[in-house]
């Protein structure tokens, strides 16, 4: 299967925005909403995204590249370790780091680790302009009061983390946290965060104005309440991105494109949420949307999304998809599982589940696509790097 390459990094003229967060925070949903098409498959299962995906957004003079990363978690398999590495590596060279949090749940230790990773990168980037745009996501699920409390708690978390890093309490002087040193392997980060990041109260108090300017004031940090699912707050977030960074050429960029300066709120939402492409009419259209992702990998992801929608519990982690034969409109795709019992689950009674998976995936593909699905058992593929690298993870 053709493995998607990564696009060239950080050439002048574009802004690299890296989203990080815990599994299920809504990173992929947010990137899809901004891009206007399904860059990454999403599901209610954690760890759906297995490698970094890139989406370009053209705002006239400014091109923004969004990097959607796998969730930061304690890995249990070789694949899990690689996924966390993907997320950490994507921080390297980011112009804007965007930690995404699920504001509908109390902050967890995992959230603190995410914030610590972001703040360390910010501290290490002094000298070049790097901004932090914190997203409090899923606000459609909570009240206005809870939203304000969540914003305050993320502010406190950022401030406490920044202060710990400035004091070197995390065991590294800020300059030692330079990127590429792999200084924050997940376990190290977990330990550092556990040791130094003060806990966030479940009902946080609104931060008081400090008499001495906090260390956080030296950074370019903003917090946005967002519902990636409904599109709320996405426009404001985009505006802030267009104005972030020091280059004066960034300033007029947004004024030239009306797309993110709509006149009414309803226009706002529809602009941002405009049609995820339901059907690719032709393979050419697909390729033009996928400059950085191979068609093969993308189709395998569409199939995996359909599997995730139809299976429960442990199975999602054990499923991978790989293209076995690529002769569009004929495409053969293997759904790989780890055990025989899982194969039976995917097939369903009389093969009905597999058939539905095929119908679901084909609905996103050009008319006339012949999708030939098979279920293969490959024990321990998640702990076999040659296997999952072959699949593009
Ligand atoms: N209610 C609500 N659900 C959301 C929102 N954003 C994402 N989700 C859901 O949260 C789950 C995980 O989303 P996903 O984007 O895959 O998370 P990721 O692991 O961070 O990439 C999916 O079921 C999404 O539909 C949101 O703003 N509101
Ligand atoms: Mg994701």
Nearest CA to ligand 1 atom 16: 42
pLDDT value at residue 357: 97
Tokens of 378: 């490959």
Give SS3 for 20.
Answer: strand
Tokens of 174: 């800020």
Q: Which of 75-84, 118-127, 184-193 has the highest mean pLDDT?
A: 75-84
Percentage of residues of the chain with pLDDT beyond 70: 74
Instruction: Select from 21, 71, 228 the residue to mutate for testing ligand 1; criterion: most ligand atoms less than 8 Å from CB.
Output: 228
Q: What single DSSP character describes residue 171?
A: S
Q: Using the predicted structure, report yes or no on whether residue 279 has a pLDDT greater than 80.
A: no
Q: Could you read off the pLDDT of 175-194 as tens digits, one per residue?
A: 433 333 333 334 444 443 33
Q: Using the predicted structure, report yes or no on whether residue 387 has a pLDDT greater than 80.
A: yes
Q: Using the predicted structure, report yes or no on whether residue 198 has a pLDDT greater than 90.
A: no
Q: Using the predicted structure, report yes or no on whether residue 292 has a pLDDT greater than 70.
A: no
On whether the pTM is more than 0.85, the answer is no
Ligand with smallest separation from the Cα of 43? 1
Residues with CB under 6 A from ligand 1: 21, 23-29, 42-44, 48-49, 71, 137-138, 140-141, 227-229
Cα-to-centroid distance, 292 and ligand 1 (Å): 23
Q: Could you read off the pLDDT of 225-271 as tens digits, one per residue?
A: 999 999 999 999 998 988 765 443 443 333 333 333 333 333 333 33
Please state, in angstroms and rounded to a whole number, the distance separating the CA atoms of residues 311 and 319. 10
Cα-to-centroid distance, 28 and ligand 1 (Å): 7
| Ordered domains of the chain (ranges, CATH) | 14-273 (3.40.50.300), 283-390 (3.30.300.20)
Give the residue from 24, 15, 100 showing the smallest Cα distance to 65.
15
Interior angle at CA 255, CA 251 and CA 261, nearest 5: 125
Nearest CA to ligand 1 atom 11: 44
Q: Could you read off the pLDDT of 24-60 as tens digits, one per residue?
A: 999 999 999 998 888 899 999 888 999 999 888 887 7
Contact 226, 268 (CB under 8 A): no
Q: Residue written as tokens 């426009």?
A: 235
Nearest CA to ligand 1 atom 13: 26
pLDDT value at residue 294: 81
């Amino acid at each position: 299967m053709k493995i998607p390459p990564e696009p060239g990094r950080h050439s002048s003229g574009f802004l690299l925005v890296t989203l990080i967060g815990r599994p299920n925070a809504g990173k992929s949903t947010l990137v899809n909403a901004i891009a206007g098409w399904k860059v990454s498959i999403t599901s209610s299962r954690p760890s759906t995204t297995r490698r970094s995906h890139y989406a370009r957004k053209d705002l006239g003079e400014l091109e923004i590249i969004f990097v959607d990363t796998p969730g930061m978690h304690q890995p249990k398999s070789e694949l899990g370790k690689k996924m966390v590495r993907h997320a950490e590596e994507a921080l390297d060279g980011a112009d804007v780091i965007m930690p995404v949090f699920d504001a509908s749940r109390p902050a967890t230790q995992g959230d603190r680790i995410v914030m610590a990773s972001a703040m360390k990168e910010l501290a290490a980037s002094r000298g070049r302009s790097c901004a932090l745009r914190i997203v409090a996501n899923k606000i459609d699920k909570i009240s206005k009061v809870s939203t304000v409390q969540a914003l305050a708690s993320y502010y406190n978390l950022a401030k406490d983390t920044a202060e710990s890093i400035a004091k070197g309490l995390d065991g590294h002087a800020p300059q030692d946290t330079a990127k590429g040193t792999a200084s924050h392997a997940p376990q190290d980060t977990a330990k550092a965060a556990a040791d130094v990041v003060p806990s966030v109260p479940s009902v946080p108090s609104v931060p008081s104005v400090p008499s001495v300017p906090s260390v956080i004031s030296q950074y370019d940090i903003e917090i946005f309440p967002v519902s990636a699912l409904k599109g709320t707050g996405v426009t404001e977030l985009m505006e802030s991105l267009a104005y972030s960074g020091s280059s004066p050429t960034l300033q007029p960029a947004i004024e030239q494109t009306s797309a993110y300066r709509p006149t009414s709120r309803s226009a706002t939402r529809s602009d941002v949420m405009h049609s995820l492409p339901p059907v690719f009419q032709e393979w050419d259209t697909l390729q033009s949307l996928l400059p950085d992702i191979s068609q093969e990998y993308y189709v395998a992801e569409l199939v995996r999304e359909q599997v995730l929608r139809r299976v429960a519990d442990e199975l999602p982690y054990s499923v991978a998809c790989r293209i076995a034969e690529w002769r569009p409109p004929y495409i053969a795709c293997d759904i790989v599982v780890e055990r025989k019992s899982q194969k039976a689950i995917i097939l369903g009674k009389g093969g009905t589940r597999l058939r539905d998976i095929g119908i679901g995936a084909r609905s996103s593909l050009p008319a006339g696509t012949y999708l030939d699905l098979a279920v293969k058992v490959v024990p321990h593929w998640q702990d076999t790097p040659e296997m999952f690298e072959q699949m593009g993870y």
